[in-house]
A = this chain, B = another copy of it.
Amino acid sequence: MTLNTRPLILISNDDGVDAKGINSLIESLRLLGDLFIVAPDGGRSGLSCAVTSKIPIRAMLIKEEKGLTIYSCSGTPVDCVKLALGNLLPRKPDLIVSGINHGNNASVNIHYSGTMGIAIEGALNNIPSIGFSLCTHKPDADFSQAVSYSALITKHILEKGLPKGICLNVNIPYGTEVKGIKVCRQAAGNWSEEFEERTDPHNGRYYWLTGVMMNMEPDCTETDEYAIGEGYVSVVPSKIDLTAYEYMEDLKYLEI
């Protein structure tokens, strides 16, 4: 492979440009290509595919060396991708990698996740895209196993690509020896008891987001949550076309 054909990989995340997860990933992916990072200038968890339209955003060049460019950005994770693709990158990247997120994004968490917002934005732009997440919120989490599996999967997808409109949601178990990789479907899940009510010193009521994620099909062996629970890295191919084709015919009664 000559210098000119080295793949160009765009990397972002939702934990911010200084997070351990993205920096571990950067180190391990340098072997695979030229890296271009545009990541939020602080934590932006739970921002889904949100974009910033009412205020302008800014980007700051942090590092520029051979094969590695790093920008921080004041916007959302998806803003980072859009700004990279439209304004900052020298050319369309060969791959977009997001993470490694500090926390599980399996099951329905794909809807809330900024990490997966990045991968979905990549797929919307017809670029193979992968979101990696480590299933722990432990502050001093060890990302080493996650990095090895992320690099391995990234290498495969760089070679093989992904079909149009599909990105990967990859979750890596924590606190266990990883047994391998499983291709899974998204588990049906639900968050419960989501807001905790408190009273401020001025007697005003306020609410903190909290809650517990419930796997609604714990015995089903086909899901990402099951694979993670068994010590496997889960890989869910995820679509940007949300159409429920199987229900279109039944819904025709609405047509007038």
- Residues A251 and B235 in contact in the complex (CB < 8 Å), given A48-B50, A112-B50: yes
CA distance A256 to B87 in the complex (A): 39
Measured CB to CB, the closest approach of chain B to A65, in angstroms, equals 22
**Is A256's CB under 8 angstroms from B180's CB?**
yes
Instruction: List B contacts of A37 (CB < 8 A).
Output: none
- With A56-B198, A208-B56, A235-B251 as known contacts, state yes or no: A49 contacts B111, CB within 8 Å: yes
In the complex, which residue of chain B has the Cβ closest to the Cβ of A165?
Answer: B188
Cα distance A125–B216 in the bound complex, in angstroms = 11
- A49 adjacent to B251 (CB under 8 Å): no
Bound CA span A211–B108, Å? 30
State whether B205 touches A58 (Cβ < 8 A): yes
Cross-chain contact B248 with A185 (CB below 8 angstroms): yes
B87 lies within 8 A of A255 (CB): no
Q: Inside 8 A of A251's CB, which chain B residues have their CB?
A: 183, 235, 237
Q: Which residues of chain B have C-beta atoms less than 8 A from A194's C-beta?
A: 82-83, 85-86
A241 at the interface (CB under 8 A from B): yes
The contact of A207 among B83, B188, B198, B208, by CB within 8 Å, is: B83
- Complex formed: what's the CA distance from A156 to B45 in Å? 37
- Option from B49, B190, B243, B244 in Cβ contact (under 8 Å) with A124: B190
CB contacts (< 8 Å) of A160 on chain B: these are 253
Contacts of A85 in B (CB 8 A): 194
CB A214 to nearest CB in B, in angstroms, measures: 11
Q: In the complex, what residues of B have CB within 8 A of residue A166's CB? A: 244, 247
List 11 additional contacts besides A82-B191, A183-B254, A186-B243; criterion CB under 8 Å. A46-B50, A51-B209, A57-B209, A59-B205, A79-B209, A87-B207, A181-B255, A183-B248, A235-B251, A237-B243, A237-B247
A residues with a Cβ closer than 8 A to B are: 43, 45-54, 56-59, 78-79, 82-83, 85-87, 108, 110-112, 117, 120-121, 124-126, 153, 156, 160, 163, 165-166, 169, 180-183, 185-186, 188, 190-195, 197-198, 204-209, 211, 235-245, 247-248, 251-256
20 A-B residue pairs with Cβ-Cβ distance under 8 Å, sorted by A, are A49-B111, A51-B112, A53-B209, A59-B205, A79-B209, A85-B194, A86-B194, A108-B124, A124-B190, A125-B190, A160-B253, A182-B255, A185-B241, A185-B243, A186-B243, A188-B241, A237-B244, A238-B244, A239-B243, A240-B242
